[in-house]
């Protein structure tokens, strides 16, 4: 039996530029931990797309603190995936100016 995958939630990092007491996944400025590269995420997404993946939700921590977030967004969009991002918004203004074609 071949499993179908329609949606993925991807936690890009646990690092966050906020330290909210109510954070459900204990993210914050001092968090560390292993993360996948955008290339590794790309491989996973490509394989999941072959199994029916239609949408992806990028979250964190703060996903815009993930060093390869632009590459990951471009990979998601390039695969034709409906892509949403859960962010506190503090980095969006600078990123949209630096990467206008992505946003």
pLDDT tens across 22-35, in order?
877 778 777 777 78
**Secondary structure (3-state) at 11:** strand
What pLDDT does residue 2 have? 77
71 pLDDT above the threshold of 80: yes
| Range in 8-22, 28-42, 74-88 with the lowest mean pLDDT | 28-42
Residue 54 DSSP label: -
């Amino acid at each position: 039996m071949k499993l179908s995958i329609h949606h993925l939630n991807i936690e890009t990092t646990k690092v966050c530029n906020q330290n909210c007491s109510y954070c459900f996944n204990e993210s914050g400025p001092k968090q560390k931990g292993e993360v996948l590269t955008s290339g590794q995420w790309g491989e996973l997404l490509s394989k999941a797309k072959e199994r029916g993946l239609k949408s992806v939700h990028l979250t964190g921590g703060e996903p815009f603190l993930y060093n390869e977030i632009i590459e990951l967004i471009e990979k998601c969009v390039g695969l034709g995936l409906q892509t949403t991002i859960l962010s506190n918004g503090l980095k969006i203004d600078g990123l949209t100016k630096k990467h206008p074609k992505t946003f």
